[in-house]
Chains A and B, each alone.
Chain A
């Protein structure tokens, strides 16, 4: 069984040139960085906040904050990882504002392993995404990830959707590597469990799609 292939990355030196130019006051260089990463920041923000307006605000606030604090960017990590850290904090802050009744923290953890133990072990249809229209599929995926605790879906979106490494994710979220791995495993298993009801193989089965 094959492994998940990481995403291809942009050359870092080109990015550093833009960062240096932006630090020196070149706004068009910063705009280039915005163009490069606005889609990623929006995706991350909407995964975390689950709200379109909040995601739009996070994109604006995260880039503005990055610009205002460029002088503090020490270049020990990639610019993108630093930007993601800012965006995640902004997104969590918005989520807390909308849900003041619930603790929203990256430190939240689940007490036992039980929540992630597989219960549904039916195999899936060979091309499960083809069982639904594009619109239906997106609705299923969105509804399913919404059900995860924010700390799990944040790790999942950074690692599995955006393709950050475990180390970069730990760095961006200020978590230890074992904490990232533990949340990622649980996020993956919980999503799998929840998606099983939509995607399981129904050949000769009892129900209809």
Chain B
């Protein structure tokens, strides 16, 4: 297996989405190719760091404000699309 072939399979390898034979071939390549080992390891760390970094968390105060606005807009939409208001009795 060449390094290019290894790279093409890297995503499936990290996701555990491959058959046992391909996995064994990739792991054999990792045994002797230090560069691919480093790329594989640091790519995995990249994913983990992003996943665990809690980048762009929604602050509680903003969350409450957004939810109130959403519910109010939904109620407005429901009111417009609901059945016609009951007819007023003629004067």
Query: A residues bordering B, Cβ < 8 Å?
Result: 1-4, 25, 27, 30-31, 34-35, 38-39, 42-43, 46-47, 55-56, 59-60, 63-64, 67-68, 117-118, 121-124, 128-129, 137-138, 141-142, 145, 156, 160-161, 163, 166, 181, 184-185, 188-189, 191-192, 195-196, 199
Interface size on B, residues (CB 8 A): 47
- Whether the pair A1, B11 counts as a contact (CB closer than 8 A) is no
Cross-chain contact of A38 among B14, B67, B78 (Cβ < 8 A): B67
List B residues 56-83 near A (Cβ within 8 Å).
56-58, 62-63, 66-67, 69-71, 73-75, 77-78, 82
A-B pairs with beta carbons under 8 A, tally: 141
- Whether the pair A121, B70 counts as a contact (CB closer than 8 A) is no
**Chain B residues with Cβ under 8 A from A42's Cβ?**
56, 58, 66
Given contacts A34-B67, A192-B43, 14 further A-B contacts (CB under 8 A): A25-B82, A27-B74, A31-B67, A34-B71, A55-B56, A68-B77, A123-B42, A128-B45, A141-B49, A142-B55, A156-B50, A188-B43, A188-B47, A195-B42
User: With the chains together, A63 CA to B49 CA distance in Å?
Assistant: 29
Cross-chain contact of A64 among B14, B27, B70 (Cβ < 8 A): B70
By secondary structure, the B interface counts as helix
**Chain A residues with Cβ under 8 A from B19's Cβ?**
none
How far apart are B79's CB and chain A's nearest CB, in angstroms? Answer: 11
**Chain B residues with Cβ under 8 A from A56's Cβ?**
62, 66
**Chain A residues with Cβ under 8 A from B17's Cβ?**
166
B53 at the A interface (CB under 8 A):
yes
